[in-house]
Amino acid sequence: MKRTLEWQIATVSRIKPETAEVRTLTLALPDWTAHRPGQHYDVRLTADDGYAAQRSYSVASEPERTGEIDITVERVPNGEVSPFLLDTVVVGDRFEVRGPIGGYFVWDESVGGPILLVAGGSGVVPLMAMLRHRAATRVKTPARLLYSARTYEQIIYGPELDMLASQDGFKVSYTLTRQQPPGWKGYGRRIDDAMLAEVRKPLGLEVVAYVCGPTALVEVAADGLERIGLSADRIRTERFGPSGT
């Protein structure tokens, strides 16, 4: 029988800065249910006058952590929800959530691999849940992440991604589209077919690809993956914005 999603009251238990405009909120849930990496939760904020605003946020944490989830929030200019979550919310605050939601843009060992992950800006969030799940379960599925950000300072989860890349079977490639630091050895342009082919090559053509980010990046990457030989049924996409390149 399908579980009915109901709103519950989440309590903010931790807040971690990721970049100047991005924070991760850890939410303790009284009715926790294990999610599949890639799923999301709805967040609803209700003002004293009854006005409510609702947004969806991908789960950043792995399902092996019980009783809580992480959501990573990026500031949306003139937004109704993200400025409140970034500037006003403190540890101990409570608000409504419901989830986990979604069944298409998900990955675990049952899906198979190898996996090719392509992210733009905050589109890395659901992909991070997949990588954390892969590490927590110690699966050996080969994985590659191609992550596009404007600048080095805007890379979300950078230290953790570099740590994960020191483990067997996972590598991360960065491309910085606006500015690169001195001595930068990664890519320095927007994602294109040549870049996708280079990152994909060690995995072969029988990969499962996940692309998440702003619409323009997702379309370029998904079309490019087909041009370099991936079949459309092995490419899963999710628009996730506003940030990008």
Contact, 187 vs 160, CB < 8 A?
no
pTM over 0.85: yes
Return per-residue pLDDT of the chain as tens, 245 residues. 445 689 999 999 999 999 999 999 999 999 999 999 999 999 999 988 889 999 999 999 999 999 999 999 999 988 889 999 999 999 999 999 999 999 999 999 899 889 999 999 999 999 999 999 999 999 889 999 999 999 999 999 999 999 999 888 999 999 999 999 999 999 999 999 999 999 999 998 889 999 999 999 999 999 999 999 999 999 999 986 543 33
Q: In the beta sheet, which residues pair with residue 205?
A: none
109 Rama sector, left if φ>0, alpha if ψ -120 to 50, beta otherwise = alpha
- What are the structural domain ranges in the chain? 8-101, 109-239
What is the end-to-end Cα distance of the chain in Å, rounded?
43
Give the number of C-alpha atoms closer than 13 A to the C-alpha of residue 152, restricted to the C-beta side.
Answer: 10
Contact, 60 vs 73, CB < 8 A?
no
**Residue length of the chain:** 245
- CATH number given to 8-101: 2.40.30.10
Contact, 89 vs 12, CB < 8 A?
yes
The answer to whether domain 109-239 has CATH 3.40.50.10190 is no
